[in-house]
């Protein structure tokens, strides 16, 4: 289909990348010279990209349906693995007498503030938090507005875990990966992390995940994030931040979560995600009230 027919909201793929990733068209821009370029947001990965309109092709409904079906299956497989892990941990981890059962205890996982540059992703992530039994507050803020908003939101919600995410991407492939200016939004995530650390500098009191696809991993960790993307500048899945959060939220305050275990909880793995050893935020209570 002719690229010139493309408009905001269309689902497209890039011909030069063999149509490997599906995007939603976010903006169509025409320069003074008449060149038309399109801003793109990944459909299931947190990638920001732009492309000449001639390189784009619309994706038909059946292919979109199959793409979303795969997306849902990947997510459900990850959720299944998480619930199986939790069941095993409950069986092994509770210190019970002969008269106590799992039902005698109550659970308090870590609380989350999730700030996301993409409203659709935020809505999906909030639904996953609910499925996972995690208390979460969600805010949709463009990446560029996150740094200024973080202090007030932290004071309002007092979370145990902060997520700063949205979309990102490398601007010039093959250019200096250490240059923050070569990323669409990494500089905003870095400034947002720094703003959060001015409120709470202890990395165990406030745990931070920051980044999106291809983000400047080293700069984010140096700014004060516990976990970040992307070590090898690859794409990350839309739900990877949630799955990192889940592992921390359900790891006991009595132990640190091995970074390998946290990343194992994700869809993308160590190419796209990493971090530092961090204390868990999960508390077990006893006895459970009948009311």
What tokens were used for 283? 């508390």
**Residue-level pLDDT at 58:** 93
What is 103-285's CATH superfamily? Response regulator (3.40.50.2300)
What is the per-residue pLDDT for 100? 58
Helix, coil or strand: residue 162:
strand
Q: What are 261's two structure tokens?
A: 């275990």
Q: Which distant-in-sequence residues (6+ apart) come within 8 Å of 81 by Cβ?
A: none
Residues 6+ apart with CB under 8 A from 213: 42, 45, 46, 47, 48, 167, 168, 169, 229, 230, 234, 235, 236, 272
Q: What is the predicted pLDDT for the residue at 286?
A: 86
121 vs 128, 182, 287, CA distance in Å? 11, 24, 37
| Dihedral pair phi/psi, residue 252, rounded to 5° | -55, 145
Contact predicate 44/71, CB 8 Å:
yes
Residue with tokens 């990395």: 203
Which ranges of the chain does DSSP label H, i.e. alpha helix? 61-93, 119-132, 146-157, 186-199, 217-223, 240-249, 259-264
Helix, coil or strand: residue 223:
helix
CB atoms within 10 A of CB 262: 26
Residue 169 CA from chain centroid, whole number:
14
**DSSP per residue over 100-133, as a string?**
--GGG-EEEPPPEEEEES-HHHHHHHHHHHHHHT
Taking residue 84's Cβ as centre, other Cβ atoms within 10 Å add up to: 10
Angle at 132 between CA 242 and CA 237, to 5 degrees: 25
Domain ranges within the chain, ordered by starting residue: 3-62, 103-285
CA 163/CA 242 separation, integer angstroms: 8
**Whole-angstrom Cα distance, residue 264 to residue 165?**
20
Report pTM. 0.90
Give me the residues of the chain with pLDDT under 70, please.
Answer: 1-4, 91-102, 174
Provide the total of helices (H) and of strands (E) in the chain, helices listed first: 7, 15
CA dihedral 210, 213, 219, 223 (to 10 degrees): -10
pLDDT digits (tens, 9 = 90+) for 131-151: 999 999 999 999 999 999 999
Residues 224, 237: Cα–Cα separation, whole Å? 22
Instruction: State whether the Cα torsion 101-255-230-36 is positive or negative.
Output: positive
Q: What class has domain 3-62? A: mainly beta
Hey, do 3-62 and 103-285 end up sharing a CATH topology, with the first three levels equal?
no
Residues 194 and 186: beta-carbon distance below 8 Å: no
């Amino acid at each position: 289909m002719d690229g010139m027919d493309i408009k905001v909201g269309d689902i497209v793929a890039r011909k030069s990348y063999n149509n490997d990733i599906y995007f939603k068209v976010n903006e169509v821009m025409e320069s003074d010279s008449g060149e038309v370029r399109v801003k793109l947001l990944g459909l299931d990965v947190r990638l920001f990209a732009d492309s000449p309109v001639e390189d784009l092709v619309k994706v038909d409904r059946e292919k979109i349906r199959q793409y979303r079906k795969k997306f849902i299956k990947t997510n459900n497989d990850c959720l299944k693995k998480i619930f199986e892990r939790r069941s095993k941990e409950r069986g092994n981890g509770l210190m019970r007498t002969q008269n106590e059962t799992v039902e005698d205890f109550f659970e308090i996982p870590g609380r989350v503030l999730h700030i996301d540059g993409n409203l659709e992703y935020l809505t999906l992530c909030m639904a996953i938090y609910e499925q996972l039994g995690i208390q979460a507050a969600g805010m949709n803020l463009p990446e560029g507005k996150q740094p200024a908003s973080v202090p007030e939101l932290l004071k309002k919600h007092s979370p145990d875990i902060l997520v700063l995410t949205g979309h990102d991407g490398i601007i010039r492939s093959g250019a200096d990966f250490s240059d923050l200016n070569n990323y669409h939004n990494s500089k905003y995530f870095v400034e947002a992390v720094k703003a959060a650390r001015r409120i709470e500098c202890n990395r165990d009191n406030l745990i931070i995940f920051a980044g999106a696809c291809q983000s400047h991993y080293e700069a984010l960790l140096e700014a004060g994030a516990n976990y970040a993307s992307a070590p090898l500048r690859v794409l990350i899945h839309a739900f990877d931040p949630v799955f990192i959060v889940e592992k921390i939220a359900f790891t006991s305050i009595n132990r640190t979560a091995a970074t390998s275990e946290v990343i194992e909880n994700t869809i993308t793995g160590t190419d796209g995600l990493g971090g530092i050893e961090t204390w868990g935020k999960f508390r077990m209570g006893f006895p459970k009230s009948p009311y």
